[in-house]
Amino acid sequence: MVKTNWKTYTARDFSHLHYVSFEKDRPKNRAVILIHGITAELNHQEKFAESLEIEADVFLPILRGYDQLNPRGDLSYMEQFDDDLFDFIHFVKKKGYDQILLVGHSMGCANLLRLIHRNPKAADHYLFISPFFHPTLSVYRNDATDQFKPSTDVDYVVYQKKAGSLMVLYKLGVKRILNWTVAQIPDEFHHTGRLSLSFRLMMSRFLEEVPTDLFRGMEDRVRTYVGEHDEVVHPERLSEWYEDTFGMNMTIVKDTDHNHILHDPAFHTSIREWVKG
The pLDDT score that the predictor gives to residue 123 is: 97
**Which one-letter amino acid corresponds to residue 125?**
H
- pTM attached to this predicted model: 0.93
Residue 151 scores a pLDDT above 70: no
Q: How confident is the model at residue 160 (pLDDT cuts 50, 70, 90)?
A: confident
What tens digit of pLDDT does each residue of 215-269 get? 999 999 999 999 999 999 999 999 999 999 999 999 999 999 999 999 999 999 9
Q: For position 232, which CATH number holds?
A: 3.40.50.1820
Instruction: Report the sign of the C-alpha dihedral through residues 185, 250, 82, 51, in that order.
Output: positive
Instruction: Report the sign of the C-alpha dihedral through residues 260, 201, 113, 9, in that order.
Output: negative
What tens digit of pLDDT does each residue of 18-68 get? 999 998 776 679 999 999 999 988 999 999 999 999 999 999 999 999 988
The pLDDT score that the predictor gives to residue 152 is: 55
Burial of 106 (0-12, 13-18, 19+ CB in 10 A): buried
53 in a structural domain:
yes
185 in a structural domain:
no
The pLDDT score that the predictor gives to residue 149 is: 47
Distances (CA, A) of 27 to 23, 56, 80, 83, 234: 9, 9, 33, 29, 40
- The count of structural domains within the chain is 1
Residue 186 scores a pLDDT above 60: yes
Regarding beta strands 194-198 and 181-186, do their DSSP bridges make them parallel or antiparallel, or are they unpaired?
antiparallel
What tens digit of pLDDT does each residue of 104-140 get? 999 999 999 999 999 999 999 999 999 999 999 999 9
> Are 73 and 38 a contacting pair, CB within 8 Å?
no
Cα gap 243→240, rounded to integer Å = 5
The pLDDT score that the predictor gives to residue 190 is: 78
252 in a structural domain:
yes
Cα angle: 124, vertex 126, 131; to 5 degrees: 175
37 in a structural domain:
yes
The pLDDT score that the predictor gives to residue 107 is: 96
The pLDDT score that the predictor gives to residue 271 is: 97
The pLDDT score that the predictor gives to residue 26 is: 67
Q: What is the mean pLDDT of the chain?
A: 92
The pLDDT score that the predictor gives to residue 153 is: 57
Alpha helices (H) along 105-256: 108-118, 160-171, 199-203, 235-246
**Which one-letter amino acid corresponds to residue 62?**
I
> Are 221 and 255 a contacting pair, CB within 8 Å?
no
146 in a structural domain:
no
The pLDDT score that the predictor gives to residue 148 is: 43
Instruction: Report the sign of the C-alpha dihedral through residues 78, 79, 85, 86, in that order.
Output: negative
182 in a structural domain:
no
248 in a structural domain:
yes
Helix (H, G, I), strand (E, B) or coil at 67: coil
Structural domain range at position 250: 3-140+209-276
